[in-house]
Amino acid sequence: MTDFPHTPPKQSWTFSNDVNAEIRRAAATGIYDIRGGGSKRRLPHFDDLLFLGASISRYPLEGYREKCATDVWLGTRYAKKPIHLDIPVTIAGMSFGALSGPAKEALGRGASAAGTSTTTGDGGMTEEERGHSRTLVYQYLPSRYGMNPDDLRRADAIEVVVGQGAKPGGGGMLLGQKISDRVAMMRNLPKGIDQRSACRHPDWTGPDDLEIKILEIREITNWEKPIYIKIGGARPYYDTALAVKAGADVVVLDGMQGGTAATQDVFIENVGMPILACIPQAVKALQDLGMHREVQLIVSGGIRTGADVAKAMALGADAVAIGTGALIALGDNDPALEAEYQKLGTTAGAYDDWHEGRDPAGITTQDPALFSRFDPILGGRRLKNYLKVMTLEAQTIARACGKNHLHNLEPEDLCALNIEAAAMAGVPLAGTSWIPGRNGTF
């Protein structure tokens, strides 16, 4: 025994309690962790940017008297029938299979009431969604699940999915628990068996083939529908340029914060780039090709508020897409269901085992007892309200920057709070004129 005080026990930062728990889980089960949602680590994000607002050198607009428009045209490059949306916040592709039928209906109801579009997903077009969506984008995916040429014609636009931000280079998963009779029938799969989607599209091997595929789709749809190409945030400069070369009307760019229905945790957390780093590269590719605003850019991955919308647009996006935010608006992870989350061994706000299909909110499930709890009319109303608030927030900021349209926001309206965000977003570090990696000086 010594009289000297002991040094308090130290936890290792490298082998933290979280890391050790995952090692124990792996050791006990021998399987990797699958979950839904997006990256949970702290990443450079829109929170690291601020708007400068107006002062003597900039003239703000008056909120109650001066308009700030929010509409957007998508697909003006080649499509005979481009899409016109009232607001630049769209609903991202989320599969029927991952989501219940009533959840799909609610997305259609909410988006239509707010004047925007919804998107199908890896699993085909449901009547719930088509019937309630004023503007529906139909995904054409590597898995070809639910692919139907008649549905291509029933859609308002077509989104060729090359990748997703949560898993660029990886395919989707839908575990057997969620493959009900209806999901199996729509995907042409056996019931109750785990399914892993292809990571590569069987119809092309590179941009030249993709161009041919897109021409085929245009022929099938009489050159009417805008064709989007969705890419995960991996090499956004080259991928955007190649998407334009392949004939895209719209590029959809999804950063690594982007949600997924089910993927390996190691993939979600370790592959891809934050959306903040992706947008300027994609915009640069469009500008270098003389195609900025000619080919529209929709960005997604962790967009939550009107401030995020405004920042994405100031960096050069034409519109944004939301997945996780829309699900939370519908009622996902609601603390009112805490007792039920506890029974599943989790807590409200952290529930991400969407692949298990036991969602007490009735959103990420195919169990009739659970999805019949979800009210699509109420869910749709909540989503409409959320979209309305996001739009009002973005307008408030745009007016303060003196802009009469959200599209007039520009990088000049922004500054960054730290060097990482300044370098990634290509805007000056606050209080300086320094853009790291661009002009090299303060």
Ligand X SMILES: Cc1cc2nc3c(=O)[nH]c(=O)nc-3n(C[C@H](O)[C@H](O)[C@H](O)COP(=O)(O)O)c2cc1C
Q: Which residues bind ligand X (CB under 6 A)?
A: 36, 38, 92-95, 98-99, 121-122, 139, 161, 164-165, 230, 254, 257-261, 300-303, 322-325, 364
Tell me how far, at minimum, the Cβ of 159 lies from ligand X, in Å: 7
Q: Give whichever of 100 and 221 is closer to ligand X, judged by the CB atom.
A: 100
Task: Report the nearest approach of ligand X to the CB of residue 373 (Å).
Answer: 18
| Residue 326 CB, nearest approach to ligand X (Å) | 7
Cα 162 to Cα 202: distance, rounded to the nearest angstrom: 11
Q: Residue 206 has what DSSP assignment?
A: S
Q: Which is nearer to ligand X, 273 or 415 (CB)?
A: 273
Q: Tell me the closest approach of the beta carbon of residue 236 to ligand X, in angstroms.
A: 14
Q: How big is the CA angle at 353 (ends 347 and 358), to the nearest 5 degrees?
A: 90
Looking at the Cβ atoms of 255 and 380, the one nearer to ligand X is: 255
The least CB distance from residue 161 to ligand X, in Å, is: 4
Q: In this structure, are residues 22 and 40 in contact, taking their beta carbons and an 8 Å threshold?
A: no
**Choice between 301 and 402, CB closer to ligand X:** 301
Nearer to ligand X, 379 or 428 (CB): 379
CB half-sphere exposure, 417, CA atoms < 13 A: 8
84: which strand partners?
73
Of all helices (H) and strands (E), which one includes residue 414? Answer: strand 414-416
Distance CA 273, CA 256 (A): 5
Q: In the bound complex, what is the minimum distance in angstroms from residue 38's beta carbon to ligand X?
A: 5
Nearest Cα residue to 233 out of 169, 284, 294, 173 = 169
User: What is the signed CA dihedral for 232, 103, 201, 258, rounded to 10 degrees?
Assistant: 10
In the complex, residue closest to ligand X by CB: 323
Residue in 305, 249, 199, 293 with CA at minimum distance from that of residue 79: 249
Instruction: Give the span between the Cα atoms of 40 and 79, in whole angstroms.
Output: 38
CA distance 275 to 300: 7
Which residue, chain included where needed, has tokens 């998508």? 74
Give whichever of 221 and 300 is closer to ligand X, judged by the CB atom: 300
Residue keyed to tokens 């029974």: 343
Nearer to ligand X, 137 or 400 (CB): 137
- Please, which residue, 95 or 395, has the CB nearer to ligand X? 95
- From first CA to last CA, the distance across the chain in angstroms is 58
Q: How far is the CB of 122 from ligand X (least distance, A)?
A: 3
Instruction: Please identify, using beta-carbon distances, which residue of 83 and 253 lies nearer to ligand X.
Output: 253
The minimum distance between CB 399 and ligand X, in angstroms, equals 25
Which amino acid, 47?
D
What SS3 class is residue 229? strand
Q: Are 318 and 287 in contact (CB under 8 A)?
A: no
Q: Report, in Å, the least distance between residue 93 CB and ligand X.
A: 4
Full 3-state SS string of 371-383: HCCCCHHHHHHHH
Residue with smaller CB distance to ligand X, 187 or 403: 187
Task: Count the neighbouring beta carbons within 10 Å of the beta carbon of residue 267.
Answer: 19
Give the separation between CA 189 and CA 207, rounded to whole angstroms.
Answer: 29
Q: Nearest-CA neighbor of 332 among 255, 257, 259?
A: 259
User: Quick one: 36 or 82, whose CB is closer to ligand X?
Assistant: 36
Indicate the residue type of 145.
Y
DSSP H/E element including 227: strand 227-232
CB of 364 to ligand X, least distance (A): 6
Min dist. Cβ of residue 257 to ligand X (A): 5
Report yes or no: 122 and 260 within 8 Å, Cβ to Cβ: no
